Amino acid sequence: MFARRNAVNAYAQVGVETGAMSASPHQLIVMLYDGARAAIARAKFHLAAGDIAAKGNAISKSIDIIDNGLRAVLDHNAGGDVAADLERLYDYMSRQLMLANLRNDEALLDQVDSLLQDLSSAWAQIGNPAANGALAAQPIAANS
């Protein structure tokens, strides 16, 4: 069983690495959001199972993705207010995750997961030319 799990994990890791090498910058950001969310899901699973050490490791992984992945790629020169707002939001999420870890608080994990899901959806739409084209193709109603 243990060998099978290691094989599955190794296969999944290769898939992630291959996807990252061929991804656009927008797709990479979505992958970071998805990775942080997956770590939160693992933390919730381990919390429910009473595996406090594994829960802590999963929360630490999510914080690492937020702080050293998402926050690190913010461009404050080009991003202006949006980058500053995201910086504050990422800081808030990291702090909430630390509190969730200390308090074993699933509601805080859910809150951060919801924020990450919203951001991920927004980034996915920004990077989806078909969706952007559909929006651009819609006529603008004249004000009467």
Give the pLDDT confidence score for residue 78 in this predicted structure: 84
CATH number for the domain that contains residue 82:
1.20.120.340
Answer yes or no: is pLDDT of 59 > 50.
yes
Residue 91 within any structural domain of the chain: yes
Nearest to 47 by CA among 105, 129, 112, 2: 105
Q: How many domains does the chain have?
A: 1
Give the pLDDT confidence score for residue 114 in this predicted structure: 98
Residue 41 within any structural domain of the chain: yes
E strand segments, 80-130: none
Of 45 and 25, the structure prediction assigns the larger pLDDT to 45
Residue 1 within any structural domain of the chain: no
Return d(Cα 119, Cα 33) in angstroms, integer. Answer: 8
Give the pLDDT confidence score for residue 113 in this predicted structure: 98
* Domain housing 108: 24-125
Residue 13 within any structural domain of the chain: no
Give the pLDDT confidence score for residue 8 in this predicted structure: 38
Banded model confidence at residue 144, pLDDT cuts 50, 70, 90: very low
Residue 137 within any structural domain of the chain: no
Mean pLDDT on 74-86: 87
Residue 53 within any structural domain of the chain: yes
Of 104 and 73, the structure prediction assigns the larger pLDDT to 104
Structure tokens at 77: 């020169």
Report the predicted TM-score, pTM, of the whole model to 2 decimal places.
0.75
Return d(Cα 81, Cα 58) in angstroms, integer. Answer: 31
Banded model confidence at residue 36, pLDDT cuts 50, 70, 90: very high
